Amino acid sequence: MIKESLIGEFQRIVGKENVLTKKEALRAYSYDGTTSWIHEPDVVVFPRTTKEISDIMKIANAEKIPVTPRGGGTNVSGGSIPIMGGIVLCTTKMNKILNVDKENLTATVEPGVVLMDLNIRLGKEGLFFPPDPQSFLGATMGGIIAENAGGPACVKYGVTKQYILGLEIVLPTGEIINIGGRTVKNVVGYDLIHIFISSEGTLGMITKAELKLNPLPLARRTIMAVYDDLEMAGESVFRILENGVIPGKIELLDNWVINRIEEMMPLGLPKDAEAVLLFETDGIPEAVEKETEKIVEITKKYGARDVRAAKDMDEANKYWLARRAGFAAVFGKAPTVMAEDIAVPRGKIPAFIKRCKDIAKKYNVEMCILGHAGDGNLHPSILTDVKNKDLYDRAVKAMDEIFESAVELGGVLSGEHGIGLEKAKFFKRMTDPVVVDIMKKIKALLDPNNIMNPGKIWD
């Protein structure tokens, strides 16, 4: 419990209307984008400036009160859940786009800017921020940076870390630092911005970011390739790339996901297919046409039974709507869903898919796969029920083996959702102890009282 006098202090710093303490209000900040974990904070604070965050941090640090940063709360790894209570520091009122610099292809933003709002604003200037988590309607730039988020477009454009030039951070001690800068190149001492990108809110509050932007492509085209074999769909991913085409996007939906989406909102996806791959190629119109032809040719050569290029934007939008519905489709179908987030080298996708199928069979669990196949980033998801002990235990064992398989194949535990609350034990087991030790020392140096998002990554 936080002392009443401190609540008064927070109200003095940010204004009474920006502090929530009522039980029903706290409830709304007790979960993330899943139903997997729930824990209420003692107080939710909505700062409006960096200085306010710094003042709150100083108090939290002196009083050793846990602080959980929160943006849109759309993460799916428990990152924004105040598992130890304390303060939820929510940035949604720091949502200004401070500057768009067309000449230098950069923008300066506050952490609470929602990605969709940013891209609408940038679109007016013919620009865009390429990393595209499919939660773009609610995900904020602070959360996107803290999770190093990605999305379909990362095949060609890369993930968030490639688009952050500089950061303003409030450290857990309340000190305000500026790291990186506004230039594309910067080799001045250690590259500290990359310690904060993907730190999952455990090292400090991101209060401002300098973003690198791209000009909007002049043309784009969507292609859907239909497969009778899931592993073959996996193979097509790296065959396309090794044949010299780098599409903007390559996404995978398996038979289970296709049928579930069709059940939710019929879009005309092929329900009998074992898998579909969705491609988007973008760039100058002539190149897009050539790449489309090449994608059709290569996917047919490597086992697609049917390949069609969307005839217009309406058809293309329908396919991407289906892809975006993927997560909702999975989460709505069982009382408990373990939706994971591994990444493997692209050449290992078919082997990983086979392992997943074998593991699902071995433990007799219902599993589906979707994801950003073009990055080797897949979301194998097991449908289970935490109240059914036998079913749940089998699901846990199956997921453990899936993690082990990903790592054995040269992959990693998380491509974009982070370690969060649940993968800490795997993180420690599967990471070089010397590296774990270095990371722990960094955490202790920046956050000596362990107030920043305790319980995440480490415990």
Ligand X SMILES: Cc1cc2nc3c(=O)[nH]c(=O)nc-3n(C[C@H](O)[C@H](O)[C@H](O)COP(=O)(O)OP(=O)(O)OC[C@H]3O[C@@H](n4cnc5c(N)ncnc54)[C@H](O)[C@@H]3O)c2cc1C
User: Which residues bind to ligand X, rule: CB under 6 A?
Assistant: 32-33, 68-76, 79-80, 91, 111, 133-135, 138-140, 142-144, 146-147, 149-151, 200-201, 205-206, 327, 416-417, 453
113 vs 288 by CB, closer to ligand X: 113
Burial (CB count within 10 angstroms: exposed 0-12, middle 13-18, buried 19+), residue 281: buried
- Cβ 277 to ligand X shortest distance, Å: 16
* Phi-psi category of residue 268: left, alpha or beta, with phi > 0 → left and psi -120 to 50 → alpha: left
Q: What are the two backbone dihedrals, phi and then psi, of residue 94, each rounded to the nearest 5 degrees?
A: -105, 75
Start-end of H helices in 280-335 = 285-301, 313-324, 326-331
Would you say 257 and 370 are in contact if contact means Cβ atoms under 8 Å apart?
A: yes
- Cβ 90 to ligand X shortest distance, Å: 8
What distance in Å separates the CA atoms of residue 190 and residue 214, rounded to the nearest whole number?
26
417 vs 423 by CB, closer to ligand X: 417
147 vs 210 by CB, closer to ligand X: 147
144 vs 307 by CB, closer to ligand X: 144
What distance in Å separates the CA atoms of residue 136 and residue 223, rounded to the nearest whole number?
22
Cα-Cα end-to-end distance for the chain: 21
132 vs 274 by CB, closer to ligand X: 132
- Cβ 303 to ligand X shortest distance, Å: 26
Closest residue to bound ligand X by CB? 143
Residues in the chain: 459
Q: What is 139-161 written as a DSSP string?
A: -BHHHHHHTT---TTHHHH--GG
- Of 132, 90, 124, the C-alpha closest to 110 is 90
- Cβ 237 to ligand X shortest distance, Å: 17
- Of 33, 271, 239, the C-alpha closest to 135 is 33
- Cβ 362 to ligand X shortest distance, Å: 29
- Cβ 15 to ligand X shortest distance, Å: 19
Determine which helix (DSSP H) or strand (DSSP E) holds 283, and give its type and residue range: strand 275-283
What distance in Å separates the CA atoms of residue 138 and residue 148, rounded to the nearest whole number?
16
What distance in Å separates the CA atoms of residue 425 and residue 301, rounded to the nearest whole number?
42
346 vs 394 by CB, closer to ligand X: 346
- Cβ 86 to ligand X shortest distance, Å: 12
- Cβ 129 to ligand X shortest distance, Å: 12
Instruction: Retrieve residue 149's tokens.
Output: 């988020």
Residues 6+ apart with CB under 8 A from 31: 37, 38, 73, 81
How are beta strands 87-90 and 67-70 bridged, if at all? parallel
- Cβ 149 to ligand X shortest distance, Å: 3
Q: What is 167-211 written as a DSSP string?
A: EEEE-TTS-EEEEE-SSS---SSS-THHHHTT-TTSS-EEEEEEE
- Cβ 455 to ligand X shortest distance, Å: 11
- Cβ 372 to ligand X shortest distance, Å: 7
192 vs 219 by CB, closer to ligand X: 192
- Of 191, 136, 151, the C-alpha closest to 167 is 191
85 vs 142 by CB, closer to ligand X: 142
206 vs 253 by CB, closer to ligand X: 206
What distance in Å separates the CA atoms of residue 379 and residue 385, rounded to the nearest whole number?
18
What distance in Å separates the CA atoms of residue 192 and residue 183, rounded to the nearest whole number?
15
Determine which helix (DSSP H) or strand (DSSP E) holds 276, and give its type and residue range: strand 275-283
71 vs 350 by CB, closer to ligand X: 71
What distance in Å separates the CA atoms of residue 206 and residue 53, rounded to the nearest whole number?
10
- Cβ 447 to ligand X shortest distance, Å: 12
80 vs 292 by CB, closer to ligand X: 80
Determine which helix (DSSP H) or strand (DSSP E) holds 402, and give its type and residue range: helix 389-408
121 vs 305 by CB, closer to ligand X: 121
Cα 47 to Cα 28, 56, 69, 177, 457: the distances in Å are 18, 9, 11, 18, 25
